[in-house]
Structure 1
Amino acid sequence: MAASKAVPLRFALYAALLFCGAASPLAPAMEFSPVTATPVTAFKSGSDQREFGKLEFLGGIDFRSSDSRVGGISGIRFRADGHSFVAVSDNGDWITGSIVRNADGRLAGLSEVRATPMIDARGYRKISKSEMDAEGLALRQDEAIVSYEGRHRIDVYPDPGFQASRPSKSMDFVIPREELRGNGGLETVVVAPVEGPLAGAVVTIAERSIDTDGNLFAAVLEGPLKGIFKVARHDPFDVTDGAFLPNGDLLLLERSFTFTSGVGMRLRRIKGDSIRPGALVDGEVLLQADMGYTIDNMEGLDIIEGPDGSTRIVLVSDDNTSFLQRNLILEFRLTD
């Protein structure tokens, strides 16, 4: 494309929505929200390829709802049953529900979806996006842990009961507040395995807050290894979520966006035993995709055990409540 050619309006609108988000209604949801889903049968456009390195594409869905609060998902975690989920949106909503599978075990839809405005520490619901821009979510016994940007913080809600409660406390996120960018702060929050070296500690990673060497700020927030570490950043990718694999390695979801090539995503695996204060961590890229694949603004990641005992990787996109974008849920099986 020639340098003088105008940027397409579609991409200009996409960029604005990607980084700014959109407003949504303030009233809490009292009923289940209607959701329709279309199966995603191909990951690579126009191809029946199923194997992508160490990952096998199992399928997915593209879902929509007439309830504008059902969307904008920036973090998702599944319950132990592998079906029920809790998600947060960057518009400040809790979104709960369950995935539905067809007779072949493939993703087919969502059921019992409900969106509820989050409550801040003062007891107010969704007073503004800058106050309630939820980006990351982690679940552990009795706690739903949420990271926010705009007003940077990590709040802890009771679980169950988070939909009707204010946070019970805020966590020390260790990283100096002045190092966090306004729209690139604490994007990822994840709980490490109890049996591993981090002993169940909460870990956070910034989206685009970098040090003088261009590395991302990250921190272990608890336990004997509490402290700051760094994650190598590879331009143009930014970290949007993470989850620990059964073997203790950390899987990171990363997103890119440029006006010329649109959105991209990749998955990177970090060795779990490399995470410690003062470390600079990096790892193997398991998957990388561009607009030639069925992706969008990929922001959410979780790992579940499949019905066959395999390790499944579930990815979710954030549509920014825009008709230009899609709510995707994609599922892969880790084959190594």
Structure 2
Amino acid sequence: MQRAALAAIAWLLTGTASLPDPTIDHVTAEAVPLDPNDPAHVQVGSLRYLSGWVLNSRNPRFGGYSALHVKGNVFAALADTGEYLGFHMAALGAIEDVRFGRLPDYPGRTGAKSDRDSESLAVDPATGRMWVGFEQYNAIYRFAPGFAKAEASARPAAMAEWPSNEGPESLARLSDGRFITIQEGKQDAPEPHPALLFPKDPTAPDSAPIAFSYRPPENYAPTDAAQLPDGRLVVLNRHFRLSDGMWAAVTVFDPKDIKPGQTVPSTLLAEIRPPLTIDNMEGLSVTQEGGRTILWLISDDNQNGIQKTLLMKFALEEK
């Protein structure tokens, strides 16, 4: 018997008057060009636009995505509400096996959204363990694969003075087991943004970090980071202002250049501004396809009707 029929029977047995909405957990993907005025325009800086979609769902838990992890055709998007979305993309734009869920643990206990303000995500590809950075509490949690359970947590002393709503927006696990987190801060901050390099799991009590700083492009704030296959760290930066809209910038730096107390040098790879398709880009993941390095970006729509949840796919093509 089909799952839809089973669901209908179960609903009737409960005595409920109406059937469940069979589309409530669906996610649709509508393809969008990079340049609405010129579909042939696909190159921006060192990034080549491959595909992109506006994602939508009737599920009230959908949206607000601040972090992204992609492995093959499996996607995990983490919202700043402690909710997450998982799905498979069998073909470009074909979304299947949708799953909505909530993190099993988070720093606060008041019931407010700020208790579970999950902003960043890092994954160990070997074990599947997942680390989440929380603003408001400036905390990092480690979860079992699939967010099955919380295994450890920490509120690192080096992050204690970070602003409550501008904290660990970026969290990346390096291939050698070290971790980097960058404070979001303000997009017009005159000083570089504080950052930390942890020698190992940041939830370990003896994981004492090296403090350094990162300077984003002017009028930007860092929102996510991930390691490239060559070892460098790629950083997603966001500009969001009512007067001139939303922009995104992608930069790169080498962790080998990190020195205690100093600003790491970085290079601008691309800047995306209107009229190009863009929104409040906050999540970044790196994959490889046929020898090409792929950058996936996702936007935080703040769960309002004005913004969009964009999922964008770029190939990194440096000269």
Pair in the same fold by TM > 0.5: yes
Given that residues 107 and 115 in structure 2 are in contact (C-alpha distance below 8 angstroms), is that contact kept between their aligned partners in structure 1? Answer: no
CA shift in 2, pair 1:242/1:35, >3 Å = same
Q: Using the alignment, how far apart are the partners of 2:107 and 2:163 within structure 1? A: 24
Q: Using the alignment, how far apart are the partners of 1:99 and 1:184 within structure 2? A: 32
2:139 aligns to what?
153
Residue of 63, 73, 91 corresponding to 1:83: 73
Amino acid at match of 1:231: Y
1:231 aligns to what?
214
Q: Using the alignment, how far apart are the partners of 1:321 and 1:65 within structure 2? A: 11
Q: Using the alignment, how far apart are the partners of 1:213 and 1:39 within structure 2? A: 38
SS in 2 for 1:168: strand
Amino acid at match of 1:43: L
Alignment of 1:197-216 (within 5 A): 200-208=177-185, 214-216=191-193
- Runs of 5+ in structure 2 lacking a partner? 1-22, 201-206
Aligned residues: 286
SS in 2 for 1:273: helix
Q: Does 1:218 align with 2:195?
A: yes
**Could you tell me how far 1:172 is from its partner in structure 2?**
5.3
Q: Does 1:335 align with 2:312?
A: no
The CA RMSD measured in Å over matched residues stands at: 2.3
1:320 aligns to what?
302
1:70 aligns to what?
62
**Could you tell me how far 1:142 is from its partner in structure 2?**
4.2
1:261 aligns to what?
244
2:111 aligns to what?
127
**Could you tell me how far 1:121 is from its partner in structure 2?**
5.5
Q: Using the alignment, how far apart are the partners of 2:107 and 2:213 within structure 1? A: 33
Q: Does 1:302 align with 2:279?
A: no
Residue of 239, 244, 248 corresponding to 2:227: 244
1:189 aligns to what?
171
**Could you tell me how far 1:259 is from its partner in structure 2?**
2.1
2:13 aligns to what?
none
Q: Using the alignment, how far apart are the partners of 1:218 and 1:173 within structure 2? A: 12
Amino acid at match of 2:36: S
2:52 aligns to what?
60
Structure 1 length-normalised TM:
0.79
Given that residues 220 and 276 in structure 1 are in contact (C-alpha distance below 8 angstroms), is that contact kept between their aligned partners in structure 2? Answer: no
**Could you tell me how far 1:119 is from its partner in structure 2?**
2.3
CA shift in 2, pair 1:90/1:176, >3 Å = closer
**Could you tell me how far 1:319 is from its partner in structure 2?**
0.8
Q: Using the alignment, how far apart are the partners of 2:251 and 2:221 within structure 1? A: 11
Q: Using the alignment, how far apart are the partners of 2:253 and 2:64 within structure 1? A: 27
**Could you tell me how far 1:36 is from its partner in structure 2?**
1.3
**Could you tell me how far 1:335 is from its partner in structure 2?**
1.7
SS in 1 for 2:222: strand
Q: Percent identity?
A: 28
Amino acid at match of 1:89: A
- Runs of 5+ in structure 1 lacking a partner? 1-30, 102-106, 195-199
**Could you tell me how far 1:123 is from its partner in structure 2?**
10
Alignment of 1:29-68 (within 5 A): 33-40=25-32, 42-47=33-38, 48-68=40-60
Residue of 265, 271, 288 corresponding to 1:288: 271
Given that residues 63 and 328 in structure 1 are in contact (C-alpha distance below 8 angstroms), is that contact kept between their aligned partners in structure 2? Answer: yes
2:151 aligns to what?
168
Structure of greater Rg? 2
Residue of 90, 93, 101 corresponding to 1:116: 101
SS in 2 for 1:131: helix
Q: Using the alignment, how far apart are the partners of 2:186 and 2:105 within structure 1? A: 24
CA shift in 2, pair 1:123/1:283, >3 Å = closer
Given that residues 186 and 204 in structure 1 are in contact (C-alpha distance below 8 angstroms), is that contact kept between their aligned partners in structure 2? Answer: yes
**Could you tell me how far 1:52 is from its partner in structure 2?**
2.0
Residue deviations 1:116-145 (CA, integer Å, cap 9, x gap): 122225897x93211101000001124210
Q: Does 1:92 align with 2:95?
A: no
Residue deviations 1:53-76 (CA, integer Å, cap 9, x gap): 322110111110000212111001
Given that residues 225 and 277 in structure 1 are in contact (C-alpha distance below 8 angstroms), is that contact kept between their aligned partners in structure 2? Answer: no
Q: Using the alignment, how far apart are the partners of 1:273 and 1:122 within structure 2? A: 32
SS in 1 for 2:90: strand
Q: Using the alignment, how far apart are the partners of 2:197 and 2:137 within structure 1? A: 20
